[in-house]
Amino acid sequence: MNDRRDVHPLTHPDHLFTWLDVNQYFADLARDGGWPSWLQEVDAYWDSARFVVDPTVSVDVVWTWLRSALGPLTIEPHRGVLLLDDTNPDGPQRPLSIEIEAVGEVLPAERRPRWSDRRVVSELAEALPAPHPTLPHDVSIVAFHSFKGGVGRTLHCVAAARRLAELGRKVLLVDADLEAPGITWMVADSTRIDFAYEDFLALAHGATDAEYAEAVSLGRKFLANQEFDGIVVMPARRGHLRVGPPHIEPIDLLTTDRDPYVLTEALAKLGFAIGADVVLVDLRAGSSELSAPLLLDPRVLRVFVTTISDQSVRGTRQILNELARRAPANRPDDPDCALLLTQFHAAEHGDRLSDVVAELRDGALEVSGRSADPDDGDLPAADAAIPIMTSRFEPGLLNLPATWDEVMALIARLRLADVVDPLVEALPPVAATVPMPAKMEPTSVEDKRRNLADVADAMIYAEGSAETEFLTTDALRNLAEAHRTELPVEIVIGGKGAGKTFTFMQVCQRPDWASFIRDAGVHNASLTVPTVPVLASTNLHDESAELIDRRRATAAHDLTGRDPVSRQAIRDLIEEALARELTQVGWRRVWLTCFALSIGLEASPEDAEEILTNLARTRSVVFILDGLEDLFPSFAEKSREQDALQALLVGCPEWLRTLRGRPLGLVVFVRRDLALAAIRQNPGQFEKRYEKYALRWNTEEALRLAAWVCQRGKSLPNVSGEDVRTAAEAELSRRMSAIWGEKMGSAKSKEARSEVWFFAALSDFRGQIQARDIVAFLAEAAKESAGADSRWADRVLAPTAMRNALPKCSEQKIEAIRLENPPVRDLLDRLRDLDVARKKVPFRLESVDLSNEEARLLDTNGVVFREGDQYWIPEIFRHGLGFSVQGRPRVVAMAKLVRRRNDVSG
């Protein structure tokens, strides 16, 4: 019985207060190789301590060893007890009864990847059982861990996801910090969270199959709606505002009937199912069981993030020591771990940084199954195999932004993705192909002008456009990404001319919802559900109206085998309802009746809910509505029209969301003024709910729209539609110089830059620009450029033509806002009807008979801007109102002044 472990030097415990200390002492002793070969298991409880031994060992040997291990004052063989610490040695003692049980064969311990072992057995001296050599489908799992919080772990994990996505790799990013989630809060306001890590754990926990098919299937379906530019995000929990411990933890999966590495296996399968080749996991800080199942799997590339502070370094080193003992990466396919040191000043902390790197590198080498001995000839290669990354202190990281987009902007500004390049390079590569851009045949400048004029002119009004391709804006991308696997029940709000009807027509031109999503440039669309236009604008051209009716008829035949009622019949039904006093419930039933009639079902307000519910048991459909302004021309004054709109925009979505699984979808395209008039309580909250899908044009999207129109008009040389959709804003600006030149004159002139002038001329004084104004301007400017002076042969749009196009666009803009906003319409009419002598900018209010209140209304709508005691009118309104400028027009200067005002007020 005298093997190496019998003579292991023993360190007596300082204190044994409870039976927990007894178990912990013998567990530590086992891990250090301090058990004799005959000792098989220790099991202490509140009233006794059981020692399972080999039958061949004598009881005297056991007692002798126990006295040696715990001390003669702790073990009393004659009484058969272990004495716990007591405050009064002369008082009542605290004995723990010792039971020595001889067992011939002890069941092997079912050890799991967790920090606390359920049984104290001799196997604790050994590493955990090795998992299968590779993860399913060769998916790479990378886990970011830190001993202390606040070291930049989450931010650098997101930066790694960004860099991988930039390289064309699909990433599943998991927020596994169930107690203090970070990534979850980043995305909470950017998308609806349908599927979270807690959901996945609960589904995997309840699975009875080794493939976790239900967890993977549901994850694949709902995670498709949580993708951000190639990064699929699985937040920690759906209810991110919930305070409290997690409902389920990873160790709950570690039951004896499952593979010990169930979590990493299931995550790899989920990653493969959504098309990701890398799963990045942001773990809980510290030695938490929330992190153990991933850290203790040697197939996981483990990234340890720490500052150079003593606590953080010592804690990280201790974690490394534990992993080297429990779960070393010994096999050739096991990845080496990586180190990331953050928040240091190179000038002040250089020596300390070098010492920390050296210390932690040695620990990382041990985890990677390599020698840290300087005399080991394998050291140089081993040292190079450990990715060591450093991220200097940045003041901008002290106040992290709240949203995903803002975090991404911060990562880009501080170049944090560059920091994690060594980690990305350590991952197994995947083959990627980059499509070559399509080439276009060169044409003369006159041909380009004529083509651009024709195409843009046809696109001014959506109902007149034959275009089947469309530009994916942020709003449409959000709509598509959020509803790849779940039908939409959403309201799309847009001002007049924002592209509302055009987008409606694009949806209607596709046979099903999945086709629209795919054509919007979003992948993994699976809902081949028919889209049914219930209502449309009465101003559609014949060709577009016929397309709408064909789509309705086809969908109705597929869904019910019947013909739908006409769109006019539905309009008649609504107009009849407007003659009655209806409650919100009554109006909701009228709208549901319209939905049912549009697919050939026989329904009335009395039974529409039941009929649609029965349909939803077996079939799915997305109802699409546009043209509400035609139905409700007096929405600003008539409460019945407002009631009808409110029921459609609030009541119907609420009812549709009560249907389990959301089998019936709804997308309503509505002008902003109609929506705000209808929502009489908390209109701001309503607008906030749907703001991700609102049709607004920022400068980048406006520039991209202009480039897209020019590309469709074959005016941009060697540029494809994909180039326009994916190019950076700076690249688009460079490309558009071929359309309007560098300046509004020769390159050496003192004229404004053409792009700056373009935005200044078409924007109102709230910085807003409308899609229709952009397209109309390009059409008019292209027409005006025909036969232009040969000086402008280097560009499609001549400067004079651009200036001459603005008045016509201004007149169209005035008409649009007159129709959209009656209170503003009255003020615009008064300004337009003034005597010519009074119509000059800048002006004072008394010179144009405006009150302060009326001026504030115009200011709110971007029509005027106050500078001191004078007022200016933006170019897009000034020409249409017939106002002249005293002196040279200050187009760009005023735009800059307004932008500064908006930046301050915003």
The per-residue pLDDT for 598 is 96
Q: Which residue has the higher pLDDT, 604 or 636?
A: 604
Mean pLDDT of the 514-526 span = 83
Distances (CA, A) of 901 to 766, 896, 906: 9, 9, 8
- The answer, yes or no, to whether residue 541 has pLDDT greater than 90, is no
What does the pLDDT read at residue 64? 93
Residue whose token pair is 């429990």: 326
Nearest-angstrom CA–CA distance, 85 and 329? 41
Stated as kind and residue range, the H or E segment containing 455 is helix 445-459
Contact 593, 612 (CB under 8 A): no
Is it the case that residue 535 has pLDDT exceeding 90? yes
Instruction: Please tell me which of 328-337, 620-629, 764-773, 865-874 the model is most confident about, judged by mean pLDDT.
Output: 620-629
Alpha carbon 285 to chain centroid, angstroms: 23
pLDDT at position 190, please?
Answer: 74
Coil, strand, or helix at residue 490?
strand
Q: Which of 847, 894, 893 is nearest to 869 (CA)?
A: 847
Share of the chain above pLDDT 70, in %: 91
Q: How far is CA 217 from CA 212, 222, 275, in A?
A: 8, 9, 13
Of all helices (H) and strands (E), which one includes residue 673?
A: helix 672-678
User: In this predicted structure, what is the pLDDT of residue 4?
Assistant: 35
pLDDT value, residue 376: 46
Are 714 and 796 in contact by the 8 Å Cβ rule? The answer is: no
Query: How does 360-389 read in b/e, with b if 16+ C-beta sit within 10 Å?
Result: bbbbbbbbbbbebeeeeeeeeebeebbbbb
The residues facing 867 across adjacent strands are: 870
Burial 701-710 (b: 16+ CB within 10 A, else e): bbbbbbbbbb
Confirm if 423 and 387 have CB atoms less than 8 A apart. Answer: yes
Tell me how far apart the alpha carbons of residues 682 and 589 are, in angstroms, rounded to a whole number.
Answer: 23
The CB-side HSE value for 848 (13 A sphere, CA atoms) comes to 28
**232, 463, 739, 778, 801 from 736: Cα distances, Å:** 33, 27, 5, 12, 16
Token reading at 106: 């002890």
* Rounded-to-5 percentages of helix, strand, coil across the chain: 50, 10, 40
Residue 651 carries which DSSP code?
Answer: I
Residue 466 has pLDDT above 80, yes or no: no
Please give the torsion angle defined by the CA atoms of residues 866, 872, 875 and 879, in that order, rounded to the nearest 10 degrees.
140
* Phi and psi, residue 559, nearest 5°: -85, -40
Predicted pLDDT of residue 769: 82
Residue 111 has pLDDT above 80, yes or no: yes
Cβ 633 vs Cβ 623: under 8 Å: no
Q: Beta partners for 41? A: 52, 121
Mean pLDDT, residues 751-780 taken together: 84
Average pLDDT over residues 615-636: 91
Residue 887 scores a pLDDT above 80: no
Q: Is the pLDDT of residue 707 over 50?
A: yes
Q: What pLDDT sits at residue 431? A: 46
* pLDDT of the residue at 533: 94
pLDDT tens-digit series, residues 75-110: 999 999 999 988 776 656 789 999 999 988 777 778
Question: pLDDT-derived band of residue 438, with 50, 70 and 90 as boundaries?
Answer: very low
Contact yes or no for 755/706 (Cβ under 8 A): no
pLDDT at 286 over 70: yes
Of 27-31, 267-271, 676-680, 765-769, the one with minimum mean pLDDT is: 765-769
pLDDT confidence bin for 891, thresholds 50/70/90: low
Band (455; pLDDT cuts 50, 70, 90): confident
Return the pLDDT at 461.
60
3-state secondary structure of 620: coil
The average confidence (pLDDT) of the chain is: 85
Choose the weakest-confidence range: 70-84, 353-367, 454-468, 769-783.
454-468
DSSP annotation of 530: B
Give the residue among 35, 361, 297 at the shortest CA–CA distance from 143: 297
Contact 599, 555 (CB under 8 A): yes
Of the chain, the percentage scoring pLDDT greater than 90 comes to: 42
pLDDT of residue 107: 74
pLDDT given at position 469: 60
C-alpha span between 427 and 526 (Å, rounded): 30
> How would residue 699 be classed by pLDDT, with cut points 50, 70 and 90?
confident
What are the pLDDT digits (tens) for 181-224? 999 999 887 777 889 999 999 999 998 888 888 999 899 888 88
Name the least confident of 73-87, 303-317, 596-610, 806-820: 806-820
- Confidence band for 474, pLDDT divided at 50, 70 and 90: confident
Contact between residue 8 and residue 33 where contact means Cβ atoms under 8 Å apart: yes
For the whole model, what pTM was predicted? 0.62
Q: Output DSSP code: residue 237.
A: -
The confidence score (pLDDT) of residue 617 equals 93
Q: How would you classify the pairing of strands 75-76 and 81-84?
A: antiparallel
Over 90: is that where the pLDDT of 901 sits?
no
pLDDT at 437: 40
When pLDDT is cut at 50, 70 and 90, the band that residue 464 belongs to is very low
Judge whether 506 and 516 are in contact, CB under 8 Å.
yes
| Per-residue confidence (pLDDT) for residue 7, from 0 to 100 | 38
Report the range of poorest mean pLDDT among 95-99, 112-116, 760-764.
760-764
pLDDT in the model for residue 369: 74
Q: Read out DSSP for 34-58?
A: -S-TTEEEEEE-SSEEEEEE-TTS-
Q: Cite the beta strand spans of 500-651 per DSSP E.
A: 531-535, 621-625
